[in-house]
Structure 1
Amino acid sequence: MEITGKIKKIDETKTYGASGFRKREMVVTTNEQYPQMLLIEFVQDKCDLLNNYAVGQDVKVSINLRGREWINPQGEAVYFNSIQGWRIEVAQAEGTSEIPPMAPVDNFETTSNIDDSEPDDLPF
Structure 2
Amino acid sequence: MAFELTGKLIVKEDTVKISDRFQKREFVIDVPNEKNPEWNDTIKFQITQDRVDLIEPFNIGEDVKVAFNIRGKKWERDGRVNYFTNLEAWKIDKAGGGAGNAPSGAPMPDQLEELPPEEGGDDFPF
Gaps of 5+ in 2: 98-126
Report deviation, 1:72: 3.2
- Which residue of 1 is the match for residue 24 of structure 2? 23
d(CA) in 2 for partners of 1:65, 1:87: 14
1:47 is the counterpart of 2:52:
yes
Percent identical residues: 32
Report Cα offsets for 1:52-110 as digits up to 9, x if no partner: 0010000100010000001131x2422111111000001129xxxxxxxxxxxxxxxxx
Q: TM-score, normalised by structure 1?
A: 0.68
Match for 1:81: what amino acid?
T
d(CA) in 1 for partners of 2:95, 2:20: 37
Gaps of 5+ in 1: 94-124
- Which residue of 2 is the match for residue 59 of structure 1? 64
- Flag as ranges the 4+ runs of structure 1 deviating above 2 A: none
- Which residue of 1 is the match for residue 43 of structure 2? 38
SS in 1 for 2:50: helix
- Which residue of 2 is the match for residue 2 of structure 1? 4
Change (3 A) 1:16 1:70: same
Say which of 91, 94, 102 aligns to 2:95.
Answer: 91
d(CA) in 2 for partners of 1:76, 1:92: 45
d(CA) in 2 for partners of 1:48, 1:68: 24
Larger radius of gyration: 1
Aligned residues: 91
SS in 2 for 1:49: coil
Say which of 50, 56, 69 aligns to 2:74.
Answer: 69
Report Cα offsets for 1:7-56 as digits up to 9, x if no partner: 0110111111132x111100011022231111100001111111100100
Q: Considering only aligned residues, what root-mean-square deviation do their CA atoms show, in Å?
A: 1.5
